[in-house]
Amino acid sequence: MKGEKWYAFGRTQALEVIGLKKIITPDIASSASYCLDENGKYSFSGGAGGGYGIIVKEPIEPKYILGLLNNRLIDWCHHQVSTNFRGGPSPHRQSGTG
């Protein structure tokens, strides 16, 4: 259809934030996997939930938050209190790393 955008035929949630600076991560990962989308170029594709984005408000520096989120100790602590995917042990704990 002329003038229609491809995304107009799907869900319209959060379309206003896709073009913003954000920290993104997949919805399922065995360990911390966050990256900074500084120019708002990226969005999520496929999967059950696609992924997640965090908009960091000023004056907080997004790279500081990114460093915390990707920290191995914080990731290990997160695995101690979070729910395992499908009830099994997380790959992070199985490997003995952390």
Task: For residues 80 and 12, give the distance between their C-alpha atoms in angstroms, rounded to a whole number.
Answer: 35
Q: What is the Cα–Cα distance from 76 to 31, expressed in whole angstroms?
A: 8
Say if residues 30 and 91 touch (Cβ distance below 8 Å). Answer: yes
End-to-end CA distance of the chain, in Å?
A: 51
In this predicted model, what pLDDT tens digit does every residue of 11-36 receive, in sequence order? 666 677 778 899 988 877 788 889 99
Length of the chain: 98
Q: How does the average pLDDT of the chain come out, rounded?
A: 76
Burial class (CB in 10 A: 0-12, 13-18, 19+), 22: buried
pLDDT band with cut points at 50, 70 and 90 for residue 96: very low
pLDDT tens digit sequence for 61-78: 999 999 999 999 999 998
pLDDT class of 59 with cuts at 50, 70, 90: very high
pTM of this prediction exceeds 0.95: no
